[in-house]
């Protein structure tokens, strides 16, 4: 589902903005977490509310589809991203590449295919002159001590994303690290969900605010 969100009533700022490059179109490319990001309390909507008064010509676009993995993003890259001529693309992917490896009737993404697909996506976006921000996959379970069943594999894929961002000289939004740091401080009961997600994966209202804040920090960085 590809949607541009309409202008919404200004809410209290999440942080103080500093001067930034004049964006025209920021596109968020990902899976169901991004698809849900255009909901009234979604992270894309929150960013729209925060950025639009400062940048009136700015357009934010959600290009998330439930269940998608890196190969799926690569398959729809031309139609859903390149043809829309964004000035910045935020890629938030990786949860399903790991999670689907253990879901009946699904399949994950092999490590090499994940890495190589990310590189192809990033280089294609760069070729149209757009800035790229890559997010690490966040959580599959909110226990912050590494005891969620897929934590070791998810951390491995997050590290692949970190390595790709460094090698391709693009901005990294390390959501995985930010989530774990927050959960260590705010999940003393070691709950598997209910802190930043409502099911261990998809963002709650608090999680959407948290992600919006982390993305805003990167979007506004030099």
Cα–Cα nearest to 192, from 139, 128, 117, 154: 139
The two most distant CA atoms of the chain are separated, in Å, by: 48
- Residue 10, in any domain of the structure: no
Give the pLDDT of residue 55. 87
Q: By three-state DSSP, how is residue 167 classified?
A: helix
The three-point CA angle 17-14-158 to 5° equals: 95
- Residue 50, in any domain of the structure: yes
3, β-bridge pairs: 62
Instruction: Evaluate if residue 9 carries a pLDDT over 90.
Output: no
Q: Yes or no: say if 160 and 100 are a contact pair by the CB < 8 Å rule.
A: no
Tokens of 184: 């260590």
- Residue 5, in any domain of the structure: no
- Residue 8, in any domain of the structure: no
Q: How many domains does the chain have?
A: 1
Fill in the DSSP letter of residue 136: P
Residue 159, CA atoms < 13 Å, CB-side half-sphere = 7
- Residue 15, in any domain of the structure: no
Predicted confidence (pLDDT) per residue in 60-76, tens digit: 999 999 999 999 999 99
Q: Is the pTM of this model over 0.85?
A: yes
Give the pLDDT of residue 2. 42
Q: How many CB atoms lie within 10 A of CB 189?
A: 7
Residue 184 C-alpha from the chain's centroid: 21
- Residue 2, in any domain of the structure: no
- Residue 131, in any domain of the structure: yes
Cα–Cα nearest to 198, from 189, 187, 207: 207
- CATH code for the domain in which residue 196 is found: 3.40.50.1110
pLDDT band at 221 (very low <50, low <70, confident <90, very high): confident
- Residue 132, in any domain of the structure: yes
Separation between Cα atoms, residue 176 and residue 71, nearest integer Å: 21
Give the pLDDT of residue 16. 37
Domain that holds residue 172: 20-219
Predicted confidence (pLDDT) per residue in 114-164, tens digit: 999 999 999 999 999 999 999 999 999 999 999 999 999 999 999 999 999
Separation between Cα atoms, residue 120 and residue 124, nearest integer Å: 6
Give the pLDDT of residue 1. 45
Separation between Cα atoms, residue 61 and residue 82, nearest integer Å: 13
């Amino acid at each position: 589902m590809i949607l541009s969100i309409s202008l919404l009533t200004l809410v209290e700022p999440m942080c103080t903005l500093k001067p930034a490059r004049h964006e025209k179109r920021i596109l968020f490319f990902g899976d169901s977490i991004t698809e849900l990001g255009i909901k009234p309390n979604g992270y894309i909507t929150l960013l729209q509310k925060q950025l639009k008064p400062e940048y009136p010509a700015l357009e934010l676009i959600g290009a998330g589809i439930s269940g998608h993995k890196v190969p799926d993003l690569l398959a729809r890259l031309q139609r859903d991203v390149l043809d829309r001529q964004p000035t910045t693309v935020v890629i938030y992917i990786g949860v399903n590449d790991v999670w689907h490896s253990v879901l009946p009737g699904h399949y994950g993404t092999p490590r090499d295919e994940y890495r190589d697909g990310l590189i192809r996506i990033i280089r294609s976006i760069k070729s149209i002159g757009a800035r790229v921000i890559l997010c690490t996959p966040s959580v599959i379970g909110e226990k912050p001590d590494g005891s969620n069943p897929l934590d070791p594999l998810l951390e491995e894929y997050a590290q692949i994303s970190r390595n790709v961002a460094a090698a391709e000289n693009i901005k990294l939004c390390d959501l995985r690290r930010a989530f774990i740091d927050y959960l260590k401080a705010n999940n003393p009961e070691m709950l598997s969900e209910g802190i930043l997600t409502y099911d261990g994966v998809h963002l709650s209202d608090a999680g959407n605010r948290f992600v919006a804040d982390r993305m805003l920090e990167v979007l506004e960085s030099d």
